[in-house]
Amino acid sequence: MKKRSIKKILFDLIVLSFLLTACMDQSIDRSDHITTSPESTGTATLNSLSTDTSEASTTTIPDSTAISLPTPTARVFREPDSCDTSIPSGHILFLQTSAVSPSGYDLYIMDGNACIKHLLMKNVSGSPAWSVDGRQISIGCEDSRYICILDAPASLNVCLKSSNKFSSCAPVVMKKYALPSRGSNMYIYNTSWSYDGTRLAVESGDFSGYIVYVDILTVAGEGNWQRVIEGDKFVHVEMSPIGNEIMYDGIYIMPLDSGPIKAKWYGFNGVWSHDGTKIAFLRTKPENEDIESIGIAEWNFAEIPHWRWLYEPQALDRYYWPPQNLDIGHNNYRILSWSMDGRFLAFVAKRSMFDSQIFRLDTFTGDVVVLTTKFEKNIDYYAPAWGP
């Protein structure tokens, strides 16, 4: 009888330990938040909504060591092996530097293996964005004075079916909205669509970067602008693809109707997956007192623990010579973008001191390939936006 009692006690203790662990995991959820709310006018000021890492890093984050992706055996970033455009599916909008466009950038599109490349629009500004239904594309245009809304099917169908893989598309501008008047030298940096396609978050600022605005543009009629954030730092705003909220560096999630701002983890340049179930973001990993590397992490709302490394930085990644180095840096434009199926990430990094490329990360295997080295040399590429 004593042996059976001891076994039963041990069994009860194991069950209790399991339940306590589950409860602790469940406590790390989207319910964690800071209590600061947007001002009644609808404007949030970054002085009061601090995105300093010292504040954000106090959020409890579960240990991710046990769920890191496999590390590739060699940190060499090759080009894709295949030109099968169905794997991975979809197309990536991106910026390419231009010596002739006044803005310094042109808008291009490629497939997920970079086997095609088409010029979509010249003289653009800001990170392009697909609407959730894939039928509209937003981009800064006309010397960054306007937001242009492109009809995606009308603009892309002909060129994407062309046998000439480097032919130009024909941009069809459906609507054009002038930015709010805030003086000269304003520049568009990021755009992001609401879940229902009726609104657009636009991040703009002066060339110095000392004044940054986030406005919500209602894309109907003459358009209506509502300022929601004003400050002195870029926040890389992203609208949720499934709800009425925006995300910005910190990382914070701010409801646009009512409710508190939620602080979940320490990071920046966050992007939602197309189904809204997870977020990819950049996160720093100190290697020692002198070196701080940046890697790519994922927050998954449906899984516990909620976050893991997708690309865990190594101490000397940024110092290797090509093709082995990978320097993921801070940028005013979009750094990350999910594929439609949520498996791949397009991201921007440098392969050498002055060479910015777009890479593709397989979040199932950890493999990395570089896409844009198939194109012009000595050209920088930015702001990927993965769509249908």
What's the CATH fold of domain 44-387?
Neuraminidase (2.120.10)
Domain boundaries, the chain: 44-387
- For 24-41, the pLDDT digits (tens) are 333 323 333 222 233 333
Q: Per-residue confidence of the chain (388 residues) as pLDDT tens digits?
A: 444 444 444 344 443 343 333 333 333 233 332 222 333 334 444 433 333 333 333 333 443 333 455 554 455 677 888 888 788 999 999 999 999 999 999 999 999 999 999 999 999 999 999 999 999 999 999 999 999 999 999 999 999 988 788 889 999 999 999 999 887 678 999 999 999 999 999 999 887 667 899 999 999 999 999 999 999 888 999 999 999 999 999 899 999 988 888 876 788 999 999 999 999 999 887 655 455 578 899 999 888 878 888 887 765 555 544 445 567 776 789 999 999 999 999 999 886 666 899 999 999 888 888 899 889 988 999 999 999 9
| pTM recorded for the entire structure | 0.81
Please name the amino acid found at residue 382. Y
Query: pLDDT tens digit string along 258-296?
Result: 888 887 678 899 999 999 999 999 988 765 545 557 889
